[in-house]
Amino acid sequence: MLGKFEGAPKWLRILIPTALIVVWFGVSAVGGPYFGKIEEVADNGFAGFLPKSAESTKVNKQLEKFQDDTTLPAIVLFHSDKKFSKADVSTIDKTAEELECAEGISEDPSPAVLSEDGKAVLVAVPVDSGSELELVTANIERIYSEVDIEGASFHVTGPAAFAAGLNKAFAGIDGILLLTALAVVFVILIVVYRSVLLPIIVLLTSIFALSASIMLVWWLAKNDIVSLNGQVQGILFILVIGAATDYSLLFVSRFRESLYENASKLHAIAESYKGAFEPIIASGGTVIVGLMCLLLSDLESNKALAPVGSIGVAFAMISALTFLPAVLYAFGRGSFWPFMPSTEPKQVKKHKERLAKGLWHKVGNLVQTHGRAAWIASTVALLVLAMFSTQLKADGVEQSDLILGQSDARDGQEILNDHFPGGSGSPVQIVAQDDNWEDVVKLVDADKGIDGIVAVAINSPSGTMPVGKAADEFMKEFRAKVEAEANIPKQTPNYELIIDSAVDNANPFGASQARSEDGQILLQATLLKEPDSQYSKDTVVRLRDKLDDVSRDVLVGGPTAIQQDTITASKRDREIIIPTVLIAITIILMVLLRAVVAPLLLLASTVLSFAATLGVAALLFNGVMNFPGADPSVVLFGFVFLVALGIDYNIFLMTRVREETVKHGTAKGVIKGLVVTGSVITSAGIVLAATFAALGVIPILFLFQIAFIVAFGVLLDTFVVRSLLVPALIRDIGPFVWWPSKLKSKK
């Protein structure tokens, strides 16, 4: 198409590329400021990762009937080696009064609760989940740091503190992560091209694509069309930079090759466009299709990545096929200065000699002479590594393990577990009906009720009121306190009636439970173990099963239920999305290569490479880094990225192999395709691996694990699968790989 412009007026040949360059600079100028604004529309709350159909999501909606705001509890925990006095507890209680009108505190803090051993005091502070959690928790820490109790220390823990820690960790995404990724890519490009201009041109291609992506995503998120969180935001940055750089490398490689054959830079651009357009579109389309399969996810966070990631990849393709060719046309051979390609016979001869003596020519000779041994050895090695993939613990991790490094919230939770039931301050929320809530209490609070639950309370007009066994114990203690304060002789007539009346009048919890307009009652169950433990998650499952005997209308939610529902949805997503991605990508490859056998071989090699990567990850995560496990979505995301991106390099290779097969036959075409694409695919693989590895600078376990899996997997695809396994296997099988196309006869 571009070749038609060679006969066009010179002013038109200048105007079109100039206009493209100006448009992209304009897009960057408008979209650039959105880098600093994107956090405004990101939601990192745990509930934002929930499926809409989850029971805990339904409970969150029902809670709006009982409270004005959705809250997350922050747990203030004082602890000491000696017992706290009543005066100490009173001092902590009075300090809570400073929080009652503080910004982000949606309700009054709970009374200070002394542990049974007397060495810890707990205060639950309800924090508005829509507030700036880092600022609110910092304010809580500031206020309680002024409490002067000799020998006592305090921590702020609970879901609000953990969420604040996540927000703080994600805060580096639009700064540290982006700068790290760009710096790594820039260094690699300098080494690859040994040029002054090309690294800058390629980086601008990536930055402009990212600017356009962020601007569009911001507006879509602002209008609630797409969801956004720190996890999706970080992956968007890396995906766009990596994809745009890969597509740019492919185009630049074609352009450089064409400049040795064409004196006209317009001819060279036209040939480059012709050679790069189809693989770039096919490659980007494959990634987009893989991402869009995430729309089948039951998790909102996974669904969010589908449109957001697809937008990023689409702009990466557009930028690589518009801005990059325009700039390369403008600078021509000068783009490669000081090592500029030339059509002079001596320069062309030196170029061919370099290729003949280069690494990829040697790899081509290896495949040509020892092809069968190469693909068998590669396959066996990958199969051995793949055997370890079953050892990857991807059944979820505790909330306290999500953040890598030091965590005050984690330290506080561990101390809380030593003095209180682990679920104190983070109760399970049970929404029952007015006519069955007592049956729920009897079931949950019976002597042989639900293992893992130690107490039940009911929502009352003035707070929460113990019910069941906890209420009996509380009222015994409260009655004894009223008797002592009344100081009435027991011989007084009607003594019991007088005390009963005093107890009723003094009851701080109120006499009635709070009902919603449609007659619902809110119960809160305290868990025995820490709320993010597997034991507590199993307790939620047991609780739901038992409550079905009372009524299927009884709903169970709360922080622990949210985590359990998220893990359940993630496992379901793997079972549905992975096969869908495989089917979709197979169809794309069959259309692209006009064959059936070759696409199946490519897909099988990529899946084997993915399994081997999981095997290496299992060995590293379990044996070296001692990680507690992995989120189920780590496997899903790793699969989507590795299969889609791993297929990218096979697309780059096989489209060129098909092109060379038409000219030279399958045997020579495979070797020719391997040699001429070796350098560009290796460079692209290193760049993509480096950009994903940059995710490791964010201290989030999930992102670190994704960073390793994708980076290692891409390198494995680049250096083993694409370089040895696939070309050796294709050459060994021969023309049959092109069945049923006419190329099946091209030996």
pLDDT tens for residues 13-47?
778 888 999 999 998 888 878 776 776 666 655 55
Instruction: Answer with the one of 510, 530, 557 that is the final residue of a domain.
Output: 557
Domain end (from 123, 150, 168) = 168
Mean pLDDT of 447-463: 73
Region of 738 (left: φ > 0; alpha: ψ -120 to 50; beta: rest) is alpha
pLDDT recorded at residue 594? 85
**Number of alpha carbons in the 13 Å side-chain half-sphere of residue 674:** 33
Banded model confidence at residue 685, pLDDT cuts 50, 70, 90: confident
Query: Is residue 367 located within the same domain as residue 467?
Result: no
Which positions ≥6 away from 90 have C-beta within 8 Å?
A: 112
- Does 633 share its domain with 697? yes
What angle do helix axes 666-693 and 701-716 make, rounded to 10 degrees? 160
Question: Domain check: are 551 and 628 in the same one?
Answer: no
User: Does residue 726 lie within any of the structural domains?
Assistant: yes
Rounded Cα distance, 215 and 482, in Å: 64
How far is the C-alpha of 203 from the C-alpha of 711, rounded, in Å? 20
Q: How confident is the model at residue 608 (pLDDT cuts 50, 70, 90)?
A: very high
- Peptide bond preceding 508 in cis form (omega within 30 of 0): no
Residue 678 domain-assigned?
yes
Q: What is the C-alpha separation between 208 and 227, in angstroms, rounded?
A: 23
Residue 272 pLDDT: 86
| In a domain? residue 287 | no
Looking at the fold, whether 691 and 597 belong to one and the same domain comes out as: yes
> Is 460 contained in some domain?
yes
Q: Are residues 126 and 84 in the same domain?
A: yes
Look over the chain and give the mean of its residue pLDDT values, rounded to a whole number.
81
Residues 700 and 583 occupy one common structural domain: yes
In a domain, 450, yes or no: yes
Average pLDDT (110-123) is 84
CATH number, position 84:
3.30.70.1440
Is residue 432 domain-resident? Answer: yes
Any residues with CB less than 8 A from the CB of 508 and at least 6 apart, and which?
462, 463
**Residue 662 belongs to domain with CATH number:** 1.20.1640.10
Please report the pLDDT score of residue 1 as a whole number: 47
Q: Which of 536, 557, 578 is the last residue of a domain?
A: 557
Of 18, 669, 682, which Cα lies nearest the Cα of 326? 18
Distance CA 388, CA 613 (A): 9
Same domain assignment for residues 608 and 703: yes
What is the DSSP-derived secondary structure letter of residue 393?
-
Residue 103: which domain range? 70-168
Which distant-in-sequence residues (6+ apart) come within 8 Å of 302 by Cβ? 294, 570, 573, 633, 636
Please report, in angstroms and rounded to a whole number, the separation of the first and last CA atoms in the chain. Answer: 32
**Predicted model pTM:** 0.79
Per-residue pLDDT band for 507 (boundaries 50, 70, 90) equals low
Residue 120 scores a pLDDT above 70: yes
Q: Which residue has the higher pLDDT, 317 or 563?
A: 317
SS3 153: strand
Q: What is the pLDDT of residue 662?
A: 83
Q: To 5 degrees, how large is the angle CA 538–CA 540–CA 541?
A: 65
The verdict on residue 178 lying in a domain is: no
Q: Are 125 and 74 in contact (CB under 8 A)?
A: yes
Domain count, the chain: 3
Mean pLDDT: which of 102-111, 477-486, 559-568 is highest?
A: 559-568
> Is 604 part of a structural domain of the chain?
yes
